[in-house]
Amino acid sequence: MTWSTGKATLIAGMNGDFLTVPIHFQRLRKWNGAWTGVERRWIQMVKLSSGQYVIGFDNGYQFGKTAQSLFDNGVYAMGTVEPTVKEHSLKYGRKYYKVGEGRAAITEDKVSDENARLLTMVAIAKELRTEEIHKAEVILAVGLPFSDYGREKKALLEYYGQKPALKYEYEGIRYDVAVSRIFVFPQCYSAIAPRLANMKGDYLVVDIGSKTADVLLLKNGMPVERRSITVEKAMVKWMKQIQGRLQIQYGKNVPESEILKVVLKKDSFLPRNQVNHVRETLRELIHGLELELMEREFDLQYTNVIYVGGGAVAVKNFSEPRTNVAFDTDIHANAKGYEFLAMQMLKKQGAA
């Protein structure tokens, strides 16, 4: 079933999945009669008549995401010696870095060092190279957790505003980027922004990320800010808890990559008893999140619930199906939402 508002299209696919993005830069892919995914940019990137490009970047605590790319968020300084392998290599100033090899440690903020800037440069390069563009003026759209938005927005704007001119090499290709404007939007809200016009009544949106889960209550498409929270239950912490239990139970230090395969229902090297242990632990952790939401007086039985973000896959695969629950398993949803909201802002200002 498909609903259209003129600005965005909402598709209710199989297993309660919702796939939504602005019409003007997306198309749908159909296979054997079923909706199997969404492809963005079947023509080109989001480009304004001024020649500027709008690029959304979701700088997560495990992955960096643009509307069409996904990469690990690890940043490793290599010094002044050129790396042997160009893949994942970034040169900025006179220093070399490896960006996108493994996950970085979780930190309290993302503006205390250069890592967020280096990750952003890689994100921009990954978008520009799809069009073989090496020099561009970019409008950057980024985000913050919903409950941190008012408190940290100014610092993030100042951080990116410090160095608007970015000249660097990524994987051996030179890029000359001028960041002319910066937009900051709240996570979770951004992930569902393109479909808000269709969301009548009460909706609870749960965006399970790597470090935290943002919980947003909507009434007729409008956020109820006093009831919107961030909880410290998310994928990286769940992974650590699962690793700890496997270590105690079996004496094995199981890498996150193997646990992730179980989460995604892919083939794993783990023996069956350990796979079953991971599955059961995931069910417990997901149930624990739902219990916390109910303790905070969120109605999970009679309210429409949409799980989004990377953790939506885990909830979909390891929770009991309910008629009032849907899943947006597009890990790029926030990045796409940042671009959508930036375009709406620019249109209101007459700049798009």
pLDDT tens track for 181-203: 999 999 999 999 988 888 889 99
Average pLDDT over residues 116-141: 97
Given this model, what pLDDT does residue 313 score? 94
Provide the pLDDT for residue 42.
40
Of 23-27, 111-115, 154-158, 232-236, give the lowest mean pLDDT range: 23-27
Q: State mean pLDDT over 116-140.
A: 97
Mean predicted lDDT score pLDDT of the chain? 86
pLDDT of residue 45: 87
309-319 per-position pLDDT tens digit? 889 999 999 99
pLDDT of residue 147: 83
pLDDT at 6: 33
Per-residue pLDDT for 4 more than 50? no
Higher pLDDT, 11 or 157: 157
Asked if 129 and 93 touch (Cβ cutoff 8 Å), the reply is no
* Structure confidence by residue, pLDDT tens digits, 282-306: 999 999 999 999 999 999 999 999 9
59-107 per-position pLDDT tens digit: 988 899 999 999 999 999 999 999 999 999 999 999 999 999 888 877 7
Assess whether pLDDT exceeds 90 at residue 9: no
Which pLDDT score, from 0 to 100, does residue 197 have?
84
Average pLDDT, integer, range 215-242: 92
Rounded to whole angstroms, what are the CA distances from 296 to 20, 23, 223?
29, 36, 17
The answer, yes or no, to whether residue 222 has pLDDT greater than 80, is: yes
pLDDT of residue 34 exceeding 90, the answer is no
> What does the H/E/C string look like for the chain?
CEEECCCEEEEECHHHEEEEEEHHHEEEEEECCEEEEEEECCCCCCECCCCCEEEECEECCCEEECCCCEEECCEEEEECCCCCCCCCEEEECCEEEEECCCCCCCCCCCCCCCHHHHHHHHHHHHHHHHHCCCEEEEEEEEEECHHHHHHHHHHHHHHHHCCCEEEEEECCEEEEEEEEEEEEEECCHHHHHHHHHHCCCEEEEEEECCCCEEEEEEECCEECHHHCEEECCCHHHHHHHHHHHHHHHHCCCCCHHHHHHHHCCCCCCCCHHHHHHHHHHHHHHHHHHHHHHHHCCCCCCCCEEEEECCCHHHHHHHCCCCCCEEEECCCCHHHHHHHHHHHHHHHHCCCC
> How far apart are the C-alpha atoms of 11 and 17, rounded to whole Å?
8
Question: Is the pLDDT higher at 27 or at 152?
Answer: 152
Per-residue pLDDT at 232: 87
Q: What angle do CA 332, 335, 339 make, to 5 degrees?
A: 135
pLDDT bin (cut points 50, 70, 90) of residue 44 is: low
CB atoms within 10 A of CB 3: 13
pLDDT at 39: 39
* Per-residue model confidence (pLDDT) at position 13: 31
Name residue 185's amino acid: F
Residue 40 pLDDT greater than 70, yes or no: no
Read off φ and ψ for residue 68, nearest 5 degrees: -140, 10
For the beta carbon of residue 109, count every other beta carbon within 10 angstroms: 12
